[in-house]
Amino acid sequence: MKPDHVYIFDTTLRDGEQAPGASMNESEKLEIAYCLERLGVDIIEAGFPVSSTGDFNSVLQVAKKIKRSIVCGLARSKKEDIDAAYNAVKVAEQGRIHVFLATSKIHLEHKLKKSKDEILEMAVEAVKYAKKKIADVEFSPEDASRSEKDFLYRIIENVIKAGAKTVNIPDTVGYSTPQEYGQLIADIKNNVPNINKAVISVHCHDDLGLAVGNSLSAVKNGARQVECTVNGIGERAGNASMEEIVMALKTRQDFYGVSTNIKTKEIHKISRLVSRLTGFVVPPNKAIVGANAFRHESGIHQDGVLKERSTYEIMRPEDVGFMETGLVLGKHSGRHAFKVRLKALGIDVSEEQLAQAFGRFKNLADQKKHVYDEDLFAIVEDEIKVDKQIWTLVDLVTTSGAKILPQVEVTLRSKGKVHKMSSSGDGPVDACYKAIDGLTKVKGELLDYSIQSVSRGKDALGEVTIKVKINGKNVIAHGTSTDIIVASANAYINAINKVIAQEG
């Protein structure tokens, strides 16, 4: 390992998925894993294999497909957990088992009800057991930031002797502060005799909004692996944000003196992907990937940027994958020009998918005066990412007003047949969904609904994101259109199609 290299350990598929409502299916996890690999992530923590059959299969599929990144499975300090993790990652080109066990006094007394000696023995035995199965073993003393330091040093020294190549120091509940956490890493380096035989990793939660600050302080004090997630998603307030960690290290290389393998121009793309698949909209003011991250409203700022960008921009938008929003294509543009533009945007599609997307583009170009790059992303994401189009929207007619009961007539196609139904409701979306329920014979419970503009202008595409419970399953789906009722209908139909395809 180079002393100036920081490994990026991405746990979006494991800790990130634990965020309430962020559940992803196997194909969605694999899609994110491919994107993480292109991004240059060193380690992908793909899941917690023992937790469920679905999680085991997801980790297994990621381990089979990913070639350049290390694929990691999480395990408690139990043989059955370690066995499950090994069986899931053993097919990987590079596999890792990540074993954890709580070490703080509060966890020992109230959760584990074990003595320090018992915990030490359990940790060592777990690492030894994992080491017999796989060469790359990581150990985490859970709640390390609240553990007694002398006991923490003992645990770390002994798990390294047992074979751990990486020791992770979690701030599990986001309790620590940057100065305190950085000092903890420095103290570990100074008080664990064999620490030079392992990589020090850090895993910080954002309960006090300090996850990124704590992680960077740890790097400054010698940590060389950072565990983080795309968009900072995760349990409770989330994890350290991968894109913020990476860009801080890159932008302030003069201060931190380290580098990563991350291809930063891929950041915006994976941020969009994770947001779309989890249904967690990225706030406009989110650092690095928010829509406003590189926008300037103040006249003074605008004047400065126009004269010299570095006056108010410490990073270039293109460095993280943002592109200038420009007019790219029009209603007279041909299929070849459309294909070339998609390729320039890094969007890879098959010929069949291209035909679908091009048809949608032509329809959109008839409705909109200007078609932007963001519109093209939305077209591809909306049109070709649904597994199976069992039901498709043919037409939708609405009648609504301030003083009348909204009425909607919906026409759907399925298996070559056209079906039509009218319904009323509290609003046009409610009426629309009732009609779709009646036609498909699938009743969904709407848990969450949001809409945002994809691009600029009064004729901008509206992107609707919904979370629906159907047959006991929570599904996230999207729909786009210049008409928000049509976008809402498409999102709901996509959710129904997802469930039908999964049940299949």
> Is pLDDT above 80 for 79?
yes
pLDDT score of 253 more than 60: yes
Domain 7-278 has CATH 3.20.20.70: yes
Which has the higher per-residue pLDDT, 29 or 323? 29
CA–CA distances in Å: residue 249 to residues 1, 12, 259: 18, 20, 7
- Please say if the pLDDT value at position 20 is more than 90: no
- Best-predicted range by mean pLDDT among 29-43, 105-119, 446-460? 29-43
280-316 pLDDT, tens digit each: 888 889 999 987 877 644 444 445 544 556 665 788 8
What pLDDT is stored for residue 324 in this prediction? Answer: 55
User: pLDDT (tens digit, 9 = 90+) per residue, 390-448?
Assistant: 899 999 999 998 889 999 999 999 999 999 999 999 999 999 999 999 999 999 999 99
With beta carbons less than 8 A apart as the criterion, state whether 31 and 253 touch. no
pLDDT computed for residue 504 by the predictor: 62
Taking each helix axis from N to C terminus, what angle separates 26-39 and 267-278, rounded to the nearest 10 degrees? 170
Q: Which of 18-27, 43-52, 83-92 has the lowest mean pLDDT?
A: 18-27
Distance CA 225, CA 157 (A): 18
Q: What share of the chain is helix, strand, coil (3-state, %, to 5)?
A: 45, 25, 30
Residue 382 pLDDT grade (very low, low, confident, very high; cuts 50, 70, 90):
low
Q: How confident is the model at residue 197 (pLDDT cuts 50, 70, 90)?
A: very high
Tell me the mean pLDDT in the region 478-498: 91
Question: Residue 384 pLDDT more than 70?
Answer: no
Asked if 132 contacts 165 with a C-beta cutoff of 8 angstroms, the reply is no
User: In CATH, what number does 392-503 get?
Assistant: 3.30.160.270
Rg (CA), the chain: 25
pLDDT of residue 372: 72
pLDDT at residue 46, as a whole number: 97
Q: Does residue 463 surpass a pLDDT of 50?
A: yes
**pTM of the predicted protein model:** 0.82
- Say how far apart CA 6 and CA 258 lie, in whole Å: 7
Please state the rounded mean pLDDT for residues 1-14. Answer: 92
3-state helix/strand/coil string of 317-360:
HHHHCCCCCCEEECCCCCHHHHHHHHHHCCCCCCHHHHHHHHHH
Helices then strands (H, E): number in the chain? 17, 16
pLDDT at residue 134 is higher than 60: yes
Burial code (b: 16+ CB inside 10 Å, e: under 16) for 354-376 equals: bebbbebbbebbeebebbbbbbb
Q: Given a cut of 80, is residue 319 above it in pLDDT?
A: yes
Dist. CA 263–CA 246, nearest whole Å: 10
Round the average pLDDT of the chain to a whole number and report it: 89
Mean pLDDT of 93-117: 89
- Over residues 340-352, the mean pLDDT reads 77
* Residue-level pLDDT at 181: 98
Binned at pLDDT 50, 70 and 90, residue 386 comes out as low
207, burial (CB in 10 Å: exposed 0-12, middle 13-18, buried 19+) = middle
For residue 396, which of 291, 296, 498, 492 has the smallest C-alpha distance?
A: 492
Q: What is the C-alpha separation between 218 and 240, in angstroms, rounded?
A: 12
Task: Give CA–CA dist 403/414, Å, rounded.
Answer: 35
Report pLDDT for 354.
83
Query: pLDDT per residue over 162-171, tens digit each?
Result: 999 999 999 9
pLDDT score of 297? 47
Q: Which residue, 344, 341, 346, is CA-closest to 361?
A: 341
pLDDT beyond 90 at 177: yes
- Token digits for 432? 């629309």
**Where are the chain's structural domains?**
7-278, 295-322, 327-383, 392-503
Q: What is the pLDDT of residues 22-50, one digit of tens each?
A: 778 888 899 999 999 999 999 999 999 99
**What proportion of the chain, given as a percentage, has pLDDT over 70?**
92
